[in-house]
Every structure is written in C-alpha cells, then in structure tokens.
Amino acid sequence: MHALIASLQHTVGAAHVLTEGDLTAYEQDWRRRVRGKALAVVRPGNVQEVAAVVRACAAAGAPIVPQGGNTGLSVGSTPDGSGREVVLSLTRLNAVRAVDPDNLTMTVEAGCILQNVQKAARQAGLLFPLSLAAEGSCTIGGNLATNAGGTQVLRYGNTRELCLGLEVVTPQGEIWHGLRGLRKDNTGYDLRNLMIGSEGTLGIITAATLKLFPQPAARLTAWAAVPSMEQAVALLGLAHQHLGAGLTGFEVMGRFALGLVHKHMPQLRVPFIDRADVPYCVLLENSDSESEAHARARFESLLETAFEAGCVSDAVVAESLAQAHQLWHIRESIPLAQAEEGLNIKHDVSVPISRIPAFVAHTDALLAREIAGVRLVNFGHLGDGNLHYNVQAPEGGDARAFLATQEARVNDLVYDAVAQFGGSFSAEHGVGALKTDKLQQYQSPVALSMMRAVKQALDPQNLFNPGRVLGAAAATTAAGQKN
C-alpha cells in the first residue's frame, strides 16, 4: 500500500495524509467503546480532491470510511481493526458557499459544523432549524448521511426534510452535481433521498443545499410535571390543538434520567426533582410568527387546559431566552450525566406515539423482572415518537461486567418489545456497524434484498463503508458478483 499512500500524498498534500502519531480522534468512536486502525487518515480540501482520493483507493482496492465530526453513536464512521481502511475526513470542506435569502436556501460543504451552519443562517436573518446535543462538533455531512433528527423534528422534520440538493462523489470517483435549490423536481429517481441516510455506503456527500426558514417572532418554553406517560401523550395532543404548527419541541424525561443530571451536575437546577410524585417531566417549546403577546396567550391557554385536564401537575415557564436555554441545557445534559454514572446500554427507538405508554409499561416491567436491579434512563423526543430508552447497570455494580454479560440480553428484550409495538430499533442514530445484525433480524427479507441490490449497483467493489448498515452480507454479495 506504499504506492497508494504516495498517491494520496500527491493528491492532497503530505500534511493531510496521516499515518503516524495519535489518531485517536479518527480511529475511536464517540462513546469510546470501539477503537480501530486506519491505513491512513486523508483530509481532502475540495470535492475534486475527494474524487481523486476515491479513484486512487478504488484502483488499489482499499476500502474507504467517510467521516465527518465522528460523533455518531452506531460506530458508522470508525475504521475496523484490519488496518486496511482509509478514513476520509471531510472536515476541511467547511465553506458556506452561498446563501439565497429569496429562495430561502443556503449551500454549504459537508464538513461545516452544524453550529456554524445555524450561525450563517442567523446572520442572514433566517433559521436553519436542525438542533441536537452534538451541534458544536457534528458536521452537516454526517447529519445528512445518518438523516439526523434532533429536538425540532416535530415541526421541521428530520435532516432529510431540510435538504433540497446534494453534491456527491460516487464509488467510481465521479461527481454528481445535484445542488439545485428546487422544491419541485420530478426528473427520475430521487437520488438525493437515496443518499441521505445511507451512512456513506452509497456515496460521499461533499456539499448540500439546505432549506432556510424565517426566524420566529417569539419563542416560549415551558417545563411541565406530568403524572404519567399517558398524561404526557395527552398533553402532546392538547399542544397540537392549541399551538398547531407553532409546536416546535416536545421532549419527555423520566425521573431517574433527570436525577442523574441532578447528581452529576448539581449546578443545574432541575425543576421538580425533589417531588416524588413527578415520574416524568415534559419540555415543550412554542415558536410563533406573529408576536410575543399572541404566542404567550396561546401558551397560557394550553397550560390552563392541561391543568384542568390533569395532564400537568405543575409547570415552569421561562421568562427569558436565558432561562429557556437553561431548561434545554438540562435536557441536553442527560447523556453526559449518564456517561458520568458509568457505562450503559443505549437504545434509540421509535414507537407510534399512541402506543408509547403501553410500550414503556410493558418493557419497564419486563426488564425489572428479567434483570434484577436494572435502572432505566428513559427520555427523548416524544413529539415524534422517538425514545432514548437506555439501561444503566445496577447501582454499585461493575458496569463493564454488566455490559459484558447482559447487553445482548437487554437488547433482545428491548428490540423484541419495540417490534411487538410496531416500532423501529433505530430512530435517528442509524445502523452503522453496531446494529447490522438487528437490521437482518427485524427488517423484511424483501426490503433487505432491495437494499443489497442498490448497494451492488452503485458500489460493486464494496468500497464505501464495507460492513456497515448491511453488514457482511453486502460484502459477500459484491464478491459473488465480481467472481
């Protein structure tokens, strides 16, 4: 592979082909559970260099692992341990190419940090609504590759709904120039949506044209105590009735999840944490295009109705933007607090909203019965049916030993329950390398067959992210076709 390294150095410059030193940032996943070994880390500076890198790797038969901010939770952008895979980092492609206020679009490169995309939109007096806890380090290319969700899916949709066009490098090293900011374009198959959510297995996204929105005239945030998950769902129904499209966020948080924030981050004042009669809290946000007064009147009407209906037992309404940020910071600190508590088992599941209370009651009881002392960290985006239904080891126990002996069992129990209630084992984190066996288990044979056919058609060498999403089956199919 010395010839390949020399070719890559010639293409992007020796300083941007990393083979020695501490490569932990590129070779270890965000949760620090997996560490791989890359043949090299290559950092191209433009789309032409990306295409040239792909052509060189294809000629040498070297697999490529596309990588953005490496903040994913499904081990989809971390190299394996073979030392054969080239990590293609897109972080140098970080330009905002254009903002078109009249078309309500902006075109950005894949390595742009999400927070910088938000800032560029804000500087133009507009809004890019994608928001998630890792926005200070994740990249828009990674968000698109995984079809990231976040806290405002309820109003604006997943990343897929926020994208109008893509620039993509194919496994043959060709460039698809698809950066048209059109909201209507029925000229053949929807290649854009095929690439979004494919986790770098079909093409490498190098730039995107994104939708922008007017900044809301007012934004109100409330933290409500609810007596049960059933009442949280009832509150969501009332919020839809009273706020309509103005409902931009609706998060549910279990008492134990908030207790971890209170324990490990005592500087954050968690509302109602001392009340044993509050099993769940809801964080809801209303964005209004008319005025502060109009928004507040609708918000107060919602809360008044919710109190009368018994959906809410207490509530705190943020009186300033700073207070709203503090409330959201508590919600976004749950994963960090859980990490402070120790190693844990994460689940990113979706269930029809109407069935979430029954799913939670069933699965809580099932895990408590099957695994003594298990602790449940349940929180997430109730407004769109997505729960982060995580499992913490028994208090005082050896968390690493718990994962080694119980993780497979816990996953089977949770994912079987998700399937029983008509849900999905991966709502917004993707499949990556972590859940390929679950895709084979829970996805239909017909769907898997179509997915493999698409992979084989676009990437017959199995060059892009081999072993991710479709797992070893994709490699086997590609090898069989070549022979």
Structural tokens at position 472: 């070893």
Q: What is the pLDDT of residues 120-160, one digit of tens each?
A: 999 999 999 999 888 999 999 999 999 999 889 989 999 99
447 or 132, greater pLDDT: 447
Q: Check for a shared fold between 218-335 and 342-420.
A: yes
Band of the pLDDT at 483, cuts 50, 70, 90? Answer: very low
**Residue 344 reports pLDDT greater than 50:** yes
Report yes or no on whether pTM surpasses 0.85: yes
pLDDT attached to residue 450: 96
Q: Which residues pair with 99 in a beta bridge?
A: 106
pLDDT score of 93: 98
pLDDT at 467 over 90: yes
DSSP annotation of 274: T
- Compute, in degrees rounded to 10, the torsion defined by CA atoms 467, 472, 473, 474: 30
Q: Quick one: what percent of the chain has pLDDT higher than 90?
A: 86
> Do the beta carbons of residue 132 and residue 114 sit within 8 Å?
yes
What is the pLDDT, as a whole number, of residue 217? 84
CB neighbour list of residue 470: distance below 8 Å, 6 or more residues apart? 201, 436, 439, 448, 451, 452, 455
CB of 149 within 8 A of CB of 388?
Answer: no
d(CA 182, CA 385): 29
How far from the centroid of its chain's Cα atoms is residue 298's Cα? 31
Antiparallel, parallel or unpaired: β 40-42 and 17-18: antiparallel
219-244 pLDDT tens trace: 899 999 999 999 999 999 999 999 99
Q: In this model, does residue 17 exceed pLDDT 70?
A: yes
Q: Are 44 and 53 in contact (CB under 8 A)?
A: yes
CATH of 218-335, one of 3.40.50.10680, 3.40.640.10, 3.40.190.10, 3.30.70.2190: 3.30.70.2190
The reported pLDDT for the residue numbered 31 is: 79
Q: Assign 362 a pLDDT band (cuts: 50, 70, 90).
A: very high
- Residue 473: the pLDDT is 55
Question: What is the three-class DSSP state of 477?
Answer: helix
Identify the top-confidence range among 21-35, 147-161, 408-422: 408-422
Q: State the Cα–Cα distance between residues 116 and 478, nearest whole angstrom.
A: 39
Question: How many Å apart are CA 379 and CA 332, to the nearest integer?
Answer: 10
The pLDDT value recorded for residue 18 is 96
Confidence of residue 316 (pLDDT cuts 50, 70, 90): very high
Query: Which of 232, 221, 219, 220 lies closest to 313, judged by CA?
Result: 232
Q: What is the CATH number of domain 2-89?
A: 3.30.43.10
Return the exposure string of 413-444: e unless at least 16 CB atoms fall within 10 Å of the residue's CB, then b: bbbebbbebebbbbbbbbbbbbbbebbeebee
Mean pLDDT (whole number) for 381-397: 94
Q: Say what the pLDDT of residue 133 is.
A: 83
CATH 3.30.465.10 for domain 96-214, yes or no, is: yes
Is residue 166 within 8 A of residue 208, CB to CB? The reply is: yes
Torsion angles phi and psi, residue 132, rounded to 5:
-150, 165
Give the model's pLDDT for residue 33: 79
Q: What is the mean pLDDT of residues 428-444?
A: 93
Q: Is the pLDDT score of 15 beyond 60? A: yes
Tell whether the model's pLDDT for residue 389 goes beyond 60: yes
For 158-214, write each residue's pLDDT tens digit. 999 999 999 999 999 999 999 999 999 999 999 999 999 999 999 999 999 999 999
What average pLDDT does the chain have?
93
Average pLDDT in the 369-385 region?
95
**CATH code for the domain defined by 342-420:** 3.30.70.2740
Nearest by Cα to 145 from 207, 62, 103: 207
Q: Which of 100, 95, 51, 64 is nearest to 207 (CA)?
A: 95
Cα angle 315, 319, 320 (rounded to 5 degrees) comes to 135
Query: Could you tell me the pLDDT band of residue 480, with boundaries at 50, 70 and 90?
Result: very low
CA atoms within a 13 Å half-sphere pointing along the CA-CB vector of 180: 11
Q: Is the pLDDT of residue 477 over 70?
A: no
What pLDDT shows up at residue 474?
53
**Is a pLDDT exceeding 90 seen at residue 291?**
no
Domain boundaries, the chain: 2-89, 96-214, 218-335, 342-420, 443-482
Q: How many CB atoms lie within 10 A of CB 247?
A: 21
**pLDDT tens digits, 52-84:** 999 999 999 999 999 999 988 888 999 999 999
Give residue 156's pLDDT. 94
How far from 278 is each of 143, 225, 254, 312, 353, CA to CA, in Å? Answer: 34, 6, 9, 10, 21
3-state secondary structure of 262: helix
